[in-house]
Amino acid sequence: MELVTAPTAAPHTPHPLDGTVMTGAEAFCHALDAQGVQIVFGYPGGAIIKIYDEMARIQPRWQHILCRHEQGGTHMAEGYAKATGGVGTVLVTSGPGATNAVTGIADAYMDSIPLVVFSGQVSSHLIGNDAFQETDMMGITRSITKHSFQVRRFEDLVPTIRAAYHLAETGRPGPVVVDLPKDMIASSGVFEWPEAIVPRGYESTPDPDPVFVQMAAQMLNASERPVLYVGGGTIMANAGAQLTAFAQRNRLPVTTTLHGLGAFPEDDPLALHMLGMHGTWYANQAIQNADLIVAVGARFDDRVTGKLEAWAPLAQIVHIDIDAACIGKNVVADCPVRGDVKAVLEVLSPLVKRKERDAWHAQIAAWKAEAPLDFARDGVLRPQGVIEMLREATGGHAVLVSDVGQHQMWAAQYFRYVEPRSHITSGGLGTMGFSVPAAIGAAFALREQGRDDLPVLSVSGDGGFVMNAQEMAVARKFNLNVLFVVVNNSYLGMVRQWQELFHEERYSHTDLTDLNPDYVKLAEAYGIPGVRTTTVDEAEAAIRDALATPGPKLVECVVPTEEMVFPMVPAGAATGDMILTRDRFDG
């Protein structure tokens, strides 16, 4: 692997320790400091014991957070990265430490989250011998990383660390694994902090092609029924403000993906809210009737499009994305614009003329009035109501970190996000057990940014909560302002919903009644105060009280088992064919 100077490299400044002889473990600690790493989520073990020893001896500036399980640590790093826009760092030992991190790495790959995961490895001479705690981490993670390195020689260690961070955070972000054999960590050499470097085969993001930018502007100017379809790439590019100004100035309706939530303020009249399988009916209607769709940092995921052949049948498509391989992967783009979303919007914006398109906006308003998002407001404590309470209690000024399942969709539908990075979830991989640790990671990020007053709302179902509930210990140890909300319907609700709708009500292994713990006692076991609520009044009071004082809290909301997420495009169906309510499905 040949490393070359990164094209974006700042002028190189020498490091005070340049020329000093030290071990790999020491060099690791100093290199992370030089890289500007603030926090590392990790778990010690035999292969990396020397790094932990140096941590105690050198006392680097970066903080180490001891997670309770490596999967938890990896999700913490994801939550941290999503909340800051920076790179999350993970340190795990070889074998089981490394494999426990795999789910988080896969999750970060699917959602393009910048992570650097350092995994210990057995000594070089034992690699391939089925040694104690040996796992082929390079092989296991090959298809779930942006890139991976195994560092065999001391002199490659610091340059590889430098390159790993550059790869993780530039272009389309993603996880990078750096495998560290134990003998390399123990070996000695001369520390040299290199200038910013990358593998020579790494392609930096090109400037947007002016021909396609011009074409996109012409298509927008000609369009009578445009829709902006905004994805997570907009938030990753820190282009939420540009996107919002662009849409408002040109009066363009905006629908967002699950990861796009927060890129455009959802209380703006131009907001169509989320589209797709559990998106709003009016967003999907707009897509189905649009004559132009401008995809902004979105990837035409199957949960967005449903049956592709029937999706947006009248529309031409402009696809703005940083990843050349993403354009044309699922959907043919009539106008491909490769580039960073912010850079593209900067050059596209001056070319677009405002058009009123009154007929189109009137049509959208009519659709919004015809089938708004709603649920039974009958005094029963319902999961959608819990999300609205959280919104009301915080005014939307919070970071909501959802888990995976029904509550995730309700959190996407009913919170009404107004700021980028206020919504964090596992979208691509759909990893249950994500919320508790990711919320903790987000809380560390807010603390680092001095925004500690902003509450972090970890919303989970009763199933997913226990998958990483042990990480509550970390929230307690650091007295993080995380409110753990368990939306408890005593079922694996999303699977149950599919069983009810599509599998003739055979509730195969989704009933958790005899499996769920006492959530309040579980929280208390970790030193976190908890409250169980079963009515609207109890839940409102508990949420208000929990947010009134600092530190972690748990509120369990017992909700009806039968509640289902609507509207819904059944899997494989056309986006136009939405189930709006249970009644309409039955009838």
Partner 1 sequence: MTNAAPLPASRAAASPSDDERRVLAVRLENHAGALNRVANLFSQRGFNLDSVTVSPTEDPTVSRMTLTTSGSPRQMEQAIAQVKNLVDVLAVDDLTSAEHVERELCLVRVHYTPETRSELVDLIGFYKGIVVDVRPETLVIELSGPVAKINQFVAHVARFGVTDVARSGRVAMRREIVYGD
By annotation, the residues acting in catalysis are 70, 132-133, 182, 494
422 Cβ partners below 8 Å, 6+ apart?
262, 396, 397, 398, 399, 400
Least separation in angstroms between CB 327 and partner 1: 8
Query: For residues 516-575, which are near partner 1 according to CB under 8 A?
Result: none
Binding-site member from 9, 17, 127, 324 for partner 1 (CB under 8 A):
324
Of 104-112, 183-191, 326-334, 396-404: span binding partner 1 (CB under 8 A): 326-334
Q: Are strands 292-296 and 316-321 parallel, antiparallel or unpaired?
A: parallel
Contact between 329 and partner 1 by CB under 8 A: the answer reads yes
Q: Does 236 bind partner 1 (CB under 8 A)?
A: no
Q: In one letter, which amino acid is 577?
A: D
Report how far residue 466's alpha carbon sits from residue 190's, in angstroms, rounded to the nearest whole number. 46
Nearest to 288 by CA among 255, 336, 321, 266: 255
CB of 533 closer than 8 Å to CB of 542: yes
Binding part of the chain for partner 1, among 9-17, 90-98, 307-315, 418-426 by CB under 8 A, reads 307-315
Whether omega before 194 lies within 30 degrees of 0, making that bond cis, reads no
Who's near 563: CB < 8 A, 6+ residues apart?
A: 375, 382, 383, 384, 406, 489, 493
Amino acid found at 439? A
At closest approach, how far in Å is the CB of 142 from partner 1? 5
Instruction: Please state the closest distance from residue 330 (CB atom) to partner 1, in A.
Output: 5
* Footprint on residues 473-502 left by partner 1 (CB under 8 A): none
Among 43, 52, 193, 311, contact with partner 1 (rule: CB under 8 A): 311
Per-residue x/- track, 191-220, partner 1 (CB under 8 A): --------xxxxx-----------------
Contact 278, 565 (CB under 8 A): yes
- 128 exposure class (CB count in 10 Å sphere: 0-12, 13-18, 19+): exposed
Residues in CB range of 43: below 8 A, 6 or more apart: 66, 67, 69, 70, 73, 91, 92, 93, 97
Based on CB atoms, which residue is closest to partner 1, 148 or 402?
Answer: 148
CA 529 from centroid of its chain's CA atoms:
28
Figure out which of the listed residues 99, 123, 214, 330 binds partner 1, where binding follows CB under 8 A.
330
Looking at beta carbons only, is 26 or 111 nearer to partner 1? 111
Around 282, how many Cα atoms within 13 Å sit in the side-chain half-sphere?
Answer: 24
Any idea what DSSP says for residue 265?
-
Contact letters for partner 1, residues 128-147 (x by CB under 8 A): ----------xx--xx--xx
- Ranges within 354-373 binding partner 1 (CB under 8 A): 363
Of 203 and 586, which has the nearer Cβ to partner 1?
Answer: 203
List strand residue ranges (DSSP E) for 410-455, in order.
423-424
**Which C-beta is closer to partner 1: that of 312 or that of 337?**
312
Cβ at position 82, least distance to partner 1 in Å: 22
Binding site for partner 1 (CB under 8 A): 1-2, 138-139, 142-143, 146-148, 150, 167, 199-203, 224-225, 289, 291-292, 308-316, 323-325, 328-332, 334, 363
